[in-house]
Amino acid sequence: MVIWVTGAKGQLGQCLQQIAKTQKTKFVWTSSSELPLTDEERIVQFIEQQQIKVCINTSAYTAVDAAENDVYQSFLLNCCVPNLLARICKQHGVRLIHCSTDFVFDGYANTPLQETHTTTPGSIYGQSKRRGEELLLQTYPEAIVVRTSWLYSLVGKNFLTTMRRLGRERSEIGVVYDQIGTPTCAPDLAQVLLIMAQRADMNGGIYHYSNEGAVSWYDFAVAIMKLESLQCTVKPILTKDYPTPAKRPAYSVLDKSKIKAALGIVIPHWQDSLEKCIRETIDSE
Ligand SMILES: NC(=O)c1ccc[n+]([C@@H]2O[C@H](COP(=O)([O-])OP(=O)(O)OC[C@H]3O[C@@H](n4cnc5c(N)ncnc54)[C@H](OP(=O)(O)O)[C@@H]3O)[C@@H](O)[C@H]2O)c1
């Protein structure tokens, strides 16, 4: 079985590459320069030549604030590309696993969100990802969409790497405490995506995956500073005092019952995964 992973240079793509090193399965990795996912002819040629059986699509337009002024690119990459992949994968009998986001929700819920919960994205990024989910599943109902939230790792630019940098540079920072969600350690998600890739019996549709628990960005930042022993004071601030071009959901905790039942997995609590992620770096430094 050959597994193709798109977005190889992205955060999740790099975490998948780390984990794949320990597996016997054959993987092929592509970045946008090697294989632009807007080029149908090249994708078809690639799938046929490489004899791809599973595609994990981690590629996306992920610049949430920039998307507000870049509607075309956002919809091209988050909506048209997933739909194109769905059509090609279906025609070639390739199982497709696609990543999506908690930003498809408006944030007005106050209990964990199931896959069937109404979606009303408040940003262009969220709208483009939601439309991408819809088109992909219309085109290829057997495809799998994994919605995740607050992805972090030691790779690239994400909340953990930003807090580590700011914690060293500043004595005080303000972080919002009125947005509640769940961090997802990218290597944890990568493990689950690889389990899904091996499970041909999985039903198509949407699945939620994040770590367990619920927390504000403020509490998440405090936990990072503490685990990193950084002497930076984190002050709780309101979203209205930290305006951003794109609106974020105030509450986006995902209910993971469906994926846990389908795969028989136990999901680590966000604090345990964060501690593990940070300890591993400290040990390797
Ligand atoms: N980051 C988060 O907090 C978060 C939260 C929820 C859901 N998600 C979802 O999780 C997935 C992975 O996110 P991530 O953090 O790993 O994103 P990322 O680091 O921004 O990586 C996305 C990758 O997409 C690739 N890409 C963009 N346009 C492309 C094109 N035309 N053709 C081929 N590749 C293209 C880029 O590849 P190149 O570098 O080669 O250009 C980039 O490396 C995405 O679907 C995202 O929407 C992320």
Q: What is the 3-state secondary structure (H, E, C) of 223-279?
A: HHHHHCCCCCEEEEECHHHCCCCCCCCCECCECCHHHHHHHCCCCCEHHHHHHHHHH
* The predicted structure's pLDDT at residue 112: 98
**Span 185-209, average pLDDT:** 97
**Span 204-209, average pLDDT:** 98
Question: Which residues have CB under 8 Å from 250's CB, separation 6+?
Answer: 107, 108, 178, 179, 180, 239
Question: Could you give the CA distance from residue 246 to residue 259 in angstroms, rounded to a whole number?
Answer: 29
Q: How many residues does the chain have?
A: 285
Question: Which residues have CB under 8 Å from 164's CB, separation 6+?
Answer: 224, 228, 230
Percentage of residues of the chain with pLDDT beyond 90: 96
**Span 1-12, average pLDDT:** 96
Fill in the DSSP letter of residue 113: B
Q: How far is the CA of 258 from the centre of ligand 1 (A)?
A: 24
Question: Could you give the CA distance from residue 209 to residue 204 in angstroms, rounded to a whole number?
Answer: 15
- Residue 284 confidence (pLDDT) above 80: no
List 61, 125, 209, 251, catalytic entry: 125
Q: How far is the CA of 62 from the centre of ligand 1 (A)?
A: 6
**Span 132-136, average pLDDT:** 98
Nearest to 3 by CA among 25, 24, 34, 23: 25
Band of residue 280 on the pLDDT scale cut at 50, 70, 90: confident
The CATH topology of domain 2-151+185-212+252-269 is Rossmann fold (3.40.50)
**Catalytic site residue 125?**
yes
- Residue 168 confidence (pLDDT) above 80: yes
- Residue 285 confidence (pLDDT) above 60: no
> pLDDT tens, 174-196?
999 999 999 999 999 999 999 99
pTM for this entry: 0.96
Determine the atom of ligand 1 nearest the C-alpha atom of 150: 3
Fill in the DSSP letter of residue 70: -
**Is residue 31 lining ligand 1, measured as CB closer than 6 Å?**
yes
- Tell me the helix, strand and coil percentages in the chain, rounded to 5: 45, 20, 40
Q: Which of 6, 32, 70, 81 to mutate to test the pocket of ligand 1 (most atoms within 8 A of CB)?
A: 32
* The predicted structure's pLDDT at residue 105: 97
> pLDDT tens, 79-99?
999 999 999 999 999 999 999
Residue whose entry in the numeric block shows the structure tokens 């819809």: 134
Nearest to 212 by CA among 196, 188, 176, 234: 188
* The predicted structure's pLDDT at residue 95: 98
Average pLDDT, the chain: 96
Nearest to 148 by CA among 220, 62, 80: 62
Question: Could you give the CA distance from residue 55 to residue 2 in angstroms, rounded to a whole number?
Answer: 9
* The predicted structure's pLDDT at residue 172: 97
With vertex at residue 61, the alpha carbon angle to CA 58 and CA 64, rounded to the nearest 5 degrees, is 120
Strand (E) positions, 87-239?
95-101, 144-148, 151-152, 172-176, 180-181, 184-185, 205-208, 215-216, 233-237
* The predicted structure's pLDDT at residue 283: 59
**Is residue 189 lining ligand 1, measured as CB closer than 6 Å?**
no
Each domain of the chain, given as residue ranges in start order, spans 2-151+185-212+252-269
